[in-house]
Amino acid sequence: MEPNEIASRMIAILTVALAEDPDGEVFDEQLTDLLRGMHNIRLDLPADAHPATVVQAAMAEVTPSFTATVGTLFAAYVHLAHAHDQTQPERSAQDILQDFALHFSIE
């Protein structure tokens, strides 16, 4: 899958997350549908390939799509954080992110 297709799917996932309860069954189903097929690994290796060769080939195959996925999430966060900070200067995105980190450190 091309990076722009991955970006489109990731934006769709974020949109679904805003519209649905991220802990709900509907979200899980939609997330599964959107993720299906994004990270297909197709390896053409001999049956007796060394395990290290298989791992290297798999990593080479999946790294571009994984990088595109993570990059899209970071770009979306930065875009939303800048938009938030322009309209809500009393509580910065950095403050919200720190609260979020504290939430996970307490659990």
pLDDT digits (tens, 9 = 90+) for 59-68: 898 888 888 8
So what's the pLDDT on residue 51? 92
Q: What is the pLDDT of residues 17-33, one digit of tens each?
A: 788 777 778 778 877 87
Q: In the structure encoding, which two tokens stand for residue 15, read together?
A: 């949109």
38-47 tens-digit pLDDT:
766 778 899 9
pTM: 0.68
**CA 15: distance to chain centroid?**
12
Q: Where does the pLDDT of residue 107 fall: very low under 50, low under 70, confident under 90, or very high at 90 and above?
A: low
Residue 20 burial (10 A CB sphere; 0-12, 13-18, 19+): middle
